[in-house]
A and B are shown apart, each in its own frame.
Chain A
Amino acid sequence: MSLNGWLQIALFIALILMLAKPMGSYMTRVFDLRDTGHRHTWLDPLLRPCERLLYRLTGVDPDEEMRWTQYVIAMLVFTAATLVLTYIIQRVQQWLPLNPQHLAAVAPDLAFNTAVSFSTNTNWQSYTPETTMSYLTQMLGLATHNFWSAAVGLAFAIAFIRGIARREMKTLGNFWVDLTRGTLWILLPISIVFALALTSQGVIQNFHPYTTATLVQPQTVTTTGADGKTTTSTVTTQTIAQGPVASQEAIKMLGTNGGGFFNANSAHPFENPTPLSNFLQMLSIFLIPAGLTVTLGQMVGSPRHGWAVLAAMTILWFVGVFTCYWAEAQPNPLLHNVDQHNSYSLQSGGNMEGKEVRFGIADSALFATVTTDASCGAVNAMHDSFTPLGGLVPLINIMLGEVIFGGVGAGLYGMLIFVILAVFIAGLMVGRTPEYLGKKIEAYDVQMAMLYLLIFPLIILGFAAVAVLMPHLGLGSLANHGPHGLSEILYAYASATGNNGSAFAGLNANTHWYNYSLGVAMFIGRFMMMIPMLAIAGNLAGKKIVPDTAGTFPVTTPLFAALLTSVIVIVGALTFFPALALGPILEHLLLHVGHTF
């Protein structure tokens, strides 16, 4: 670890904490129109006419209020429509324009997996984009989902906040209005500015066919054919993939989607060319999730509650980044005759397999922590090649439910489930009916919260267990063996169920088994968790406010932040520790006694 590395990490979190308030206040003004009257934003003169036009064309009545069930149904029907569109575009891309490489139709299982993956904000990619998806498919079939799925998450978080804030009401707002305002006021304008900032750093944006460059030094390539014969040939050219990358890159990060335009994702120099583009990408992952804690505080009328939630998130973030940075800065004890030391002006040293020189260890470890704290899943270094403990951090971050800042919207409502659980546990300790911001938390709320919390490990561990038991379908896809192989499978199902989308990418997931099972895991991990979550919101909205008493557990104090942090860690540890012990933890011990696989 180095001082310079820590300075970058400190600057990162300082900027996030500084941006949380302006971002959060802006989002309150965008969404809070029903409860406190219409609030103005400076984009209104431009966007209000667009908004009204959109409602007219789609037949939306913006004044219609929805119950939680109506809100869920609207979301499900909308998601189904977008999913079908993406599936169709992939299947017919060979006949559509903007396909200069003449890429063929995407196979049905892969097209299903990808459509589910992008609809659920997961952006798991079983495919290599630059050899599979046409420019049009990337723009119209995939980047659109980066907006839609983020806006859906945002809408649900806002609906949940309304459920807490409202009293004796049956409705949570209008899904279409929340979806539209999130897209037009928040995601689109920031993406436009961000995409141009990325282009200035060298992120490409064009529709050119792939460039053929003549190599400076012709390359001698030895390949082994299927018959085992080796052939030597000389390669004199390099094919350089092009495309409309910057526009997709911006919303990929801001919407915590994470699906790369290229296979190497944000490690690819055309997606993430400089340390500044890298820094901006990390900031944009946390920007909206951090702001939402402030929005929460403002909309429920308790700004300090928002800050307490943000504090809990920041503590968990720090533990993750410290562990990951420390682990990745360690030399690999199995390599000899190499210089793995850190030097300020010469090299970052440490575990450089799968990492880019321009980012080094600090920026790679910070990126890995941030992308899995949130449900982003973009990567600028390959998690599969991390040290066992360095790779454990992203895995645990996902397994904790991606509530450490978390995905756009999804992070906040996931965190609020843990808040309800924390308040419930505090209530049990003092023997009172728990209250949360004046709302009594009763059996129904806790049942739904537990449903939310139990579906998640059930899907991850259930599918992973099945995959491990199938030598051909499950284990046949592994790139690494021994405990690292178990980590690859665990990571895949955690990433899919948690709608993260990053991978221990050695696992060949483009098989019928993995495409379909991961598709199902992503689907359940998104919708089977959103529904109980919104059921709680609907139930809370109908409750009376009971006045605070001396026995009320305050949710604005450091004690609350500490309790919340502990609940998250304990739930995660109790659920996943046995599996983790057999994966990364065992691998760590074996690495240090020199065992290889």
Chain B
Amino acid sequence: MAGIKLDTLTKSYGDTQVLHHIDAEIEDGEFVVIVGPSGCGKSTLLRMVAGLESVTSGNVHIGDKRVNDLEPADRDIAMVFQNYALYPHMSVRDNMAYGLKIRKLSKAEIDRRVNEAAEILEIGQYLDRKPRQLSGGQRQRVAMGRAIVRDPQVFLFDEPLSNLDAKLRVQMRLEIRKLQKRLGVTSIFVTHDQVEAMTLGDRLMVLNGGYVEQFGTPIELYERPASIFVAGFIGSPSMNFLSGAANAGQVTLSNGTTIATGSTASGEVLLGVRPEHLKPEENGPFKMTIEMLEHLGGVTLLHGVLDGTDTQIVASLNGITDHQVGDQVSFAAKQSHLHLFDAKSEKRIEE
């Protein structure tokens, strides 16, 4: 078991820098999710930890060892790939035993480990099948099995759930979480799905354009997003952003409404408020005209435009409501649920 330390890690392809000074310390046994839109460099970062991509500058430490120049085989890691990358010509048993045979373990030990992993993952009855005879979910389990038999210091997951259907994805997500807790192996999980990220990770690293936007627990990211990007990325539906001017503890929106924020900030700001934090209230400061309703059963989403502006705004109300398109509704939000971001730097303004 070991932690991972990334020290001013960068990656360039020729003149294009794809990762900028990544610093992170991952505790032993921690489950870290790297999340971001496609092309943000999250897979590249994972592959650098795996040793499949070279490091341009900076250091990667696994445990106490600097592993920059070590082959993937010598880093004591296991990786689960997006397309599972099972060896198609080998049975499930041989797929899982492959790494162990290379490490020259005894036959009995290999059998013991494979059977144990198969039992954990409930793939015992498929051990003699070839990967092509398995369903997507079963292949996923075999890929996991291949990782856990090795008993590595670190698990790396490269979007392992994105090829599964929605229902199976939720199920495997829970299983991965349980398995990781049970085995206590330090894990890095890459995904572009913010729900996956929120539910799986002890901590989340939000990457955008090769920069770390924020690195913290899911609740921290939700409650105190460090930038507009994180605020918009975490949570569904996305946070509403309203432009305005801050002055003396309040923000004046572009339609003239003033909202008390308790912040001492001044100047051009964006006021962020999550759809689920908007509560209907007579004479509330956020007045909108409903343009569209989405009934999801558990919640109802009201889409509309903030009166006097052309800013789109979404509110999420519990249950099924009787609002109609064209209705004018007023909302209020608690002061603690308001987020202020600098309009220029797009960073959070701390109270």
Genuine A/B complex:
no
Q: Which residues of A line the B interface, CB within 8 A? A: none
